[in-house]
Structure 1
Amino acid sequence: MKITIIGWYGTETIGDRAILAGLFSFFAKVYDDFEINLGSLYPFFSERTTNEDFSFYKELTKKDFKIEIFNSKDSKELIHVIKQSDVVAMGGGPLMDISELFMVEYAFKKARKLGKKTALLGCGVGPLFHKKYRKSVLEIVQHSDIVILRDSKSKENLQEIYKEFNRYFDESAVNISYDPAVECVLQFNKENTPTQQDYIAINLREFPIEYNKQNDSKNINEELKRFIKNVALKYTDKDIRLIPMHYFHIGNDDRVFLNSIAMDLKCENIKVQNPNLTLKETIEVYQNAYFNIGMRFHSIVLQTIASAKNYILDYTEPKKGKIYGFLKDIDKDRFYESRYISLQEGEISTEILQNESEQFELNVDEIDKHLKIYLEKLEEMKR
């Protein structure tokens, strides 16, 4: 099976790398052999990250397979790769307000014209503040043979778009599961036993203005800095490890913001992870932490599945964004209700740091059941 994956690769975060690893795990369960063409906005960066993670891919899949990187911004390269493919897929990530969304729309329409199968695999829907991008999302979905969204909230958001453009919404054609990164960490857990260590792992990002119409990111960033100071003062006996989820300047390298916090605060127990960690190394850091705090979406996914001793700083749209959507689907008993702060609405306080040793109870059988839709739909692609 020759599979072309496009999306936001080339500016990939550790989370995007976890998505990719999860998709490879699914492919390995369904297809005897598969080859990957990975479309990248900046191919040199994807060459580096896939090389760093390739041994981990083989651990997860128990297979050796080929990954070729191509420039997805080059229409000639994109068409050439689509012609060679059996399936063209958007491999996770959000369908959101960025101009590269039109590249995905173009690729799906071209693939359909050439008789190729198309799939949205574990994507989110939103934020979408501009009509032209909502229209593009509609076009992408209507040119998809398989649609698997990463949470039920994304399906609700998609339904609103169909309603806006007076299109019929076929609920049965839009499937819901978890983000493919969940599969990656579940497989990691099967092979790796945690050994708790005496540090607190925290991921923060500079607050992104595009997620907030009020544009008060400066105040939120200052509040985050005070929050880290209070964590460091509350846990003086532990290292406070600030862990990036993004190591590339396009998309805002987390280390810039994390180092500015550390330099301003000058607390001896605050340590920034400056050398690059691989995907596997990042999961290990979260798995073995005394507890975790996450802000980027995939830091929360990785911390929840690898450790289940974590607290959440939600920067996305209140009660609409991807973090809320993930928790709504996975946390039926509301364990995280007292471990959650909406950065746009709530007070950013260390008061939530209570009962640190308590763990979220992962229902692995239920999660596996929810992930099976990927296997079922990928099986259909063989026909």
Structure 2
Amino acid sequence: MSTTEENPPEIQLQPREATCADGARVEIITAREVPLGGPRAMTVYRTLPQKQRSLIGAWCFADHYGPDDVSATGGMDVAVHPHTGLQTVSWLFEGEVTHHDSGNHHAVVLPGEVNFMTAGAGICHSEVSTQATTVLHGVQLWTVLPDHARHGERRFDHYAPALLELDGGQALVFVGSLFGETSPIPTFTPLVGAELRVDAGATLEVELNPGFEHGLLVDAGDVDVEGAVVRPRELAYAGTGETRLRIRNNGPEKARLVLIGGEPFTEDVVMWWNFIGRDHTEIARYREEWENHSERFGVTHGYISHDADGLDRLPAPTLPTSRLRPRTNPEPVARPEMRIDRS
């Protein structure tokens, strides 16, 4: 997925913190609305990155979308666009999305099946909801590649995890290890990712790797995490050193969340538009190479837009007049001094 804002704003969001008396501290991060592509521009809800917390492990981007009536929103239609230094991670709850990339990978993204696209030194791709899709609903995630992997080969990995039955719910572990299940998807830093489902009126306990920081993005349900209410499209953050999270579903229907986590990522990261680099000069070079149709990104075949007059390739926005600087991330602990002002 691309971030298609022509002038991406720097938005400051204030998380709120809460804790159970004997539980993990959690920090609640709210989302901002972002239009995604096309004249009708479906809306996505972005919790990462933001000014207070840019990364959770190597996870650097989290968009939630839907459930959207495609007849009203137009669905997903993101023309060919570039990436560097990252992996895209596509996870659907409803609908279907076609994927084409310049590594000559062509796939249909289906609910419950994860698709990892590794950009390496450079890739371009397109994403379009299928004609059969009436409701589109899912999350799009990115991970930043460490220095030893970010100049590597393009690749594409697909995995359909088995549904695990747990005390209080179910899980689909799509990357890393959780609940005794390990995904075969290769990663370049230690990561975990899973869809969690919590039965009505139940509490699901998740044993955590204390060396990881974690985020829980709520898709649906009347949920609290360690006593902190987490509304749909909000993300509950727990820092390193925590060993357990208790997720309670207070509602009459099954709740659904997405868990992400990993070892804190300590390398400098400059993230602008669809590029991840290490300094302003790198990002400027990537932009120039994309605009000049450089071989770095290759050529994507197979993109068919919903709009006969639409662009077949997204142009890069204009760079800001000031130099881009590496993102700073706070210490990997929930911060009790931060509060949301909801007035």
Say yes or no: TM over 0.5. Answer: no
Q: TM-score, normalised by structure 1?
A: 0.26
Higher helix residue share: 1
Q: TM-score, normalised by structure 2?
A: 0.28
